[in-house]
Amino acid sequence: MIAPPLTDFSRLCVHTITTKPWSIEQAASHYSAAGVRGVTVWRQWLEGRNIAAVRRLLADNGLTVVSLCRGGFFPSVDAAARQTAIDDNLRAIDEAAELGAPLLVLVCGADPRQPLVVSRQQIADGIRAVVDHARASGVKLGIEPLHPMYADTRSAINTLRQANDMCDALSDPQLGVVVDVYHLWWDPELMDQILRCGRARRLLAFHVSDWRTPTEDLLNDRGLMGEGCIPLRQIRGWVEEQGFDGFIEVEIFSNRYWATDQQDFLEKIKRAYLEHV
């Protein structure tokens, strides 16, 4: 394969949460001016907005909508809450379709008041309840395994093996997985499970950031690529060997970067993308 030229940002996607201080208008114009070609929109940026107008705004700025973040959060000890979650996921699928996002990312959820195996069963039930609507809407569903430090409340699916197992069990081509290096870099099975994704053609998205030492906040201290210990190039290599040629999505939750000038931060992202991913 021929390496892309060093100024090629054609596969660079930025999540709106990465530049959290920016409105969708600011994100659209600044990403576009920076040469970024992909955007993953977090649902907060759609609240109270005309989604068709946001879709036009992004298209007018030359941005491809890569995915909508996020659906999921299916488990609860409370049956009414599980139904509320299903209803919310149906709405998220509608929003993705209206936005022109081909993928809804699922942060699957967990409830610390019950065993993880029960939460996993409720995740399967929740996905089953919405997958036909996703198919009818032309939206894929991507299970994103989360680092086990989030297993109490954010996701009972913590390894790529578990995500693959869930996809095998549900056996629906509308369902796939999202590989996020922040959550999965430590896993000794990662390469084998990425291969398994490739064989099943279910690798839908690839998220990058880095793991800082020490990590000072479990949620909002992700590093810029190159600042930490994640073998980004190696993991990207495994993903691309499986035929993945989609966007490389920069998803950084960082109190430290959100407090800085976002234009400077975006330039740092571009440089880190070229040098470390």
Q: Which residues are at the interface with Zn ion (CB under 5 A)?
A: 180, 207, 251
- Cα angle 220, 247, 238; round to 5: 90
Q: Closer to Zn ion at the Cβ: 82 or 222?
A: 222
Q: Closer to Zn ion at the Cβ: 187 or 251?
A: 251
SS3 143: strand
Q: Closer to Zn ion at the Cβ: 114 or 258?
A: 258
Question: Please, what is the minimum distance in Å from the beta carbon of residue 183 to Zn ion?
Answer: 7
Question: Please, what is the minimum distance in Å from the beta carbon of residue 207 to Zn ion?
Answer: 4
8 A C-beta contact, residue 107 and residue 72? yes
Question: Please, what is the minimum distance in Å from the beta carbon of residue 180 to Zn ion?
Answer: 3
Q: Closer to Zn ion at the Cβ: 180 or 187?
A: 180
E-state strands within the chain: 12-15, 38-42, 64-72, 103-107, 140-143, 175-180, 203-208, 248-250
Question: Please, what is the minimum distance in Å from the beta carbon of residue 144 to Zn ion?
Answer: 5
Nearest to 141 by CA among 117, 158, 124, 156: 124
Buried b (16+ CB within 10 A) or exposed e, 148-160: eebbeebbbbbbb
Largest CA distance in the chain: 53
Q: Closer to Zn ion at the Cβ: 54 or 208?
A: 208
Question: Please, what is the minimum distance in Å from the beta carbon of residue 244 to Zn ion?
Answer: 15
How far is Cα 14 from Cα 129, in angstroms, rounded to an integer?
30
Q: Closer to Zn ion at the Cβ: 28 or 205?
A: 205
8 A C-beta contact, residue 145 and residue 157? yes
Question: Please, what is the minimum distance in Å from the beta carbon of residue 106 to Zn ion?
Answer: 11
